[in-house]
């Protein structure tokens, strides 16, 4: 439809150069151009959070961010989380508490949870519930997700005290 723009970015630490139409959304580029299918499309209008990815250290909606906006950035997706010790702890807690059922929201949930753990290490259970409200889950009823995140926060406090 239109001229292609070439952007350069790092995704999960790997350099990429992509020639893309300006209207392409970041999550579509990640999924369709780079084959990173872990970020999901639930609503495509910025509500459900299933497409949440990290751009330069902050989480964004992949369905509202244009791929061209990611030019020159460091992007992280769920496929890159397992390389990070703090994310692995969250993944383990999600498995332990069964904080996922169908798994479709989970990549976005983990992104949001990781930012919470980084920025609000003293969050109460209510604050965890508030923070995680940007991501929809239709399966779990959220209780187990809140348990998993609170478990990780408690673990970090124990480690800090030790």
Among 10, 16, 120, 129, binds another protein (CB under 8 A): 129
Minimum CB distance to another protein, residue 125 (Å): 8
Contact 54, 111 (CB under 8 A): yes
Can residue 43 be called a binding residue for another protein (CB under 8 A)? yes
Minimum CB distance to another protein, residue 143 (Å): 5
Nearer to another protein, 62 or 161 (CB): 62
Contact 62, 55 (CB under 8 A): no
Nearer to another protein, 99 or 161 (CB): 99
Binders of another protein among residues 61 to 120 (CB under 8 A) are: 77-79, 81-82, 91, 94-96, 98, 100-107, 110
Structure tokens at 51: 């497409």
In 13-149, beta strands by DSSP E: 14-20, 52-55, 58-61, 74-76
Nearer to another protein, 9 or 116 (CB): 116
> CA separation (Å) from 127 to 46, 106, 156?
22, 19, 17
Distance between CA atoms of 134 and 114, rounded to whole angstroms? 13
Can residue 30 be called a binding residue for another protein (CB under 8 A)? no
Nearest to 80 by CA among 11, 7, 8, 9: 11
Minimum CB distance to another protein, residue 35 (Å): 8
Q: Which residue has the tokens 């499309």?
A: 41
- Using CB under 8 A, list all residues that contact another protein: 1, 21, 23, 31, 36-45, 47-48, 50, 77-79, 81-82, 91, 94-96, 98, 100-107, 110, 126, 129-130, 132-133, 135-146
């Amino acid at each position: 439809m239109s001229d292609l723009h070439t952007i350069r970015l790092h995704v999960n630490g790997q350099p990429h150069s992509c020639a893309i139409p300006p209207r392409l959304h970041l999550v579509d580029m990640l999924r369709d151009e780079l084959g990173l299918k872990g970020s999901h499309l639930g609503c495509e209008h910025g509500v459900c959070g299933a497409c949440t990815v990290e751009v330069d250290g902050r989480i964004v909606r992949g369905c509202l961010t244009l791929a061209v906006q990611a030019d020159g950035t460091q992007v992280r997706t769920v496929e890159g989380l397992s390389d990070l010790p703090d994310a692995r702890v969250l993944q383990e807690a999600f498995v332990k508490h069964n904080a996922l059922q169908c798994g479709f929201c989970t990549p976005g949930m983990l992104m949001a949870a990781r930012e919470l753990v980084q920025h609000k290490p003293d969050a109460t259970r209510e604050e965890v519930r508030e923070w995680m409200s940007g991501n929809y889950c239709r399966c779990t009823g959220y209780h187990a997700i809140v348990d998993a995140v609170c478990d990780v926060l408690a673990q970090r406090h124990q480690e800090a005290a030790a």
